Amino acid sequence: MTIKLIAIDIDGTLLNPRNELTPQVKKVIKRVNNTGVKVVLATGRPFVGVESYLNELDLQKDDEYCITNNGSLIQKTISGECLFEVLLSFDDYLYFEKLSRILGVHFQALTKTEMFTSNRNISKYTVHEAWMTGIPLRYCSVGNMDRALTFPKVMMLDPPDRLDAAIARIPEKVFQKYTIMKSSPYYLEILDKRANKGAAVRFIAEILGYSRSEIMAIGDQENDLAMLEYAGTSIAMGNSISRVKSVAKFLTKSNEEDGVALAIESFT
Pairing mode, strands 233-236 and 250-251: parallel
Q: Is the distance from CB of 177 to CB of 193 less than 8 angstroms?
A: yes
Beta strands in the chain (DSSP E): 5-8, 38-41, 65-68, 73-76, 82-85, 106-110, 115-117, 137-139, 153-157, 178-184, 187-192, 215-219, 233-236, 250-251
Rounded CA gap, 263 and 185, in Å? 25
Rounded CA gap, 209 and 217, in Å? 17
With vertex at residue 32, the alpha carbon angle to CA 28 and CA 37, rounded to the nearest 5 degrees, is: 145
Active site residue 62: no
Q: Which of 9, 11, 192, 220 is catalytic?
A: 9
Q: Is 12 left (phi over 0), alpha (psi -120 to 50) or beta?
A: left
The residues annotated with a catalytic role in the active site are 9
